[in-house]
Amino acid sequence: AYLAAYNGAMTLSDVQAGSIYATAYNGILSGASYAGVNDLVATSATGSIFLNSAPTGSAYGTGIGSSGRALRIAAANLYATTAQGLVNLAISGDTNAQLINASQGGVSVNSTGAITAQQLSAGNGALNITAATNLNAIQASASGAQGSASLQATAGALSVNTVSASQAAALRAGTQVSAGSISATAGVNVTGPQRVIIGSLSAGANSSLSAASGTLNLGSGQLSAGQLSVTAGTAGGNIGSANAAGGATLSGGNWNIGTLSSGAGGNIGITATSGGIQYASLNSGQDLSLTANSGTISSQAGALASGRNITYNAAAGGIHYTLTLIHISRCRRLVTCSSRSCPP
């Protein structure tokens, strides 16, 4: 089915066809079906719904769906873009989206199934994507003064290559979250109970990463402001390198850390709840505290730990160093530990 409105809006109600192409050149694409009825249904198992509110690059077209009512659709494949206004979609079942884009507005999508997308883009507003099961995307971005990004896989896994937001970013999943890179001007919050894997993280305010009952892996992280809070389950976590201007707090079973640092006013606190802590470099602008409740605290050869006040507490298993330098700047004292126990 090919539907077009050349000089105004288009209202759709219970339209069904193998595939559907709908374009409003100078208005909004909206729905008017009764409650519980989809406005558009692509009945073919491989059918597509193509929604275009004004041609690409046009100054016309005023949106897909409205702020008060989502356009309700069901299709195996989806393409939706608008030159002006917002995109608000309610999707029944699973869908594979090549593009969901609002060039000058926000995007809101809620699905009762899984979403697989190549590009999700809000050009001047918030990006809110929720899938009842799994959510997989290559690129997700939100721009403008209201450019926050929220991606959620309620009862499944969330996987995304890149996320960028001009404000805050939130990624949540019922099982695990995997992200190649996350960049936000404000804070970043990531929750995946069973596992969180992040290649690179860049944020500008308080941020939290949580895999409360599983493992957490962060390749690199940079917070230009704010504190970084990281939580892992008994399996613990791995951090390649991270710098948090406002300090960092880590809690989990055990920790393997490459480099971790804070700004001049930031503290670093690391707790291994059921294992040990191993690090290569720790540099705290204020206090540095390491606690291993039932394991060892150990360093790599030539490792450096520095802070104004340093506290190491290994309840069982001890503290082991190999040519570790600990600099306590308040006392202007340099302690070199080359044996199995650090001198007082």
At 101-150, the pLDDT tens digits run: 999 999 999 999 999 999 999 999 999 999 999 999 999 999 999 999 99
Which residues on neighbouring strands pair with residue 280, listed in sequence order? none
pLDDT in tens, 208-244: 999 999 999 999 999 999 999 999 999 999 999 999 9
pLDDT at res. 320 = 60
Asked if residue 254 has pLDDT above 60, the reply is: yes
Strand 324-328 to strand 149-153: parallel, antiparallel, or no bridges (unpaired)? unpaired
Nearest CA to 134 among 90, 78, 188, 178? Answer: 178
CB atoms within 10 A of CB 134: 20
Residue 46 CA to residue 94 CA, distance in Å, equals 11
Distance CA 39, CA 73 (A): 6
Closest-CA residue to 189 (of 166, 206, 164) = 206
Say whether 323 sits in a helix, a strand or coil.
coil
With contact defined as beta carbons under 8 Å apart, do 339 and 317 qualify? no
Residue with tokens 């079906």: 33
pTM more than 0.95: no
* pLDDT for the residue 26: 83
Pair type for strands 215-223 and 71-74:
unpaired
Extract the tokens encoding 15.
């339209």
Amino acid at position 189, single letter: N
Taking residues 157-173, report their average pLDDT.
98
**How much is the CA Rg of the chain, to the nearest whole Å?**
25
Alpha-carbon span 179 to 163, nearest angstrom = 8
Task: Give the model's pLDDT for residue 194.
Answer: 97
Instruction: Report the pLDDT value the prediction gives residue 331, as an integer from 0 to 100.
Output: 35
Decide if 49 contacts 20 (C-beta within 8 A): yes
80-109 tens-digit pLDDT: 999 889 999 999 999 999 999 999 999 999
Best CA proximity match to 212, nearest among 257, 180, 172: 172
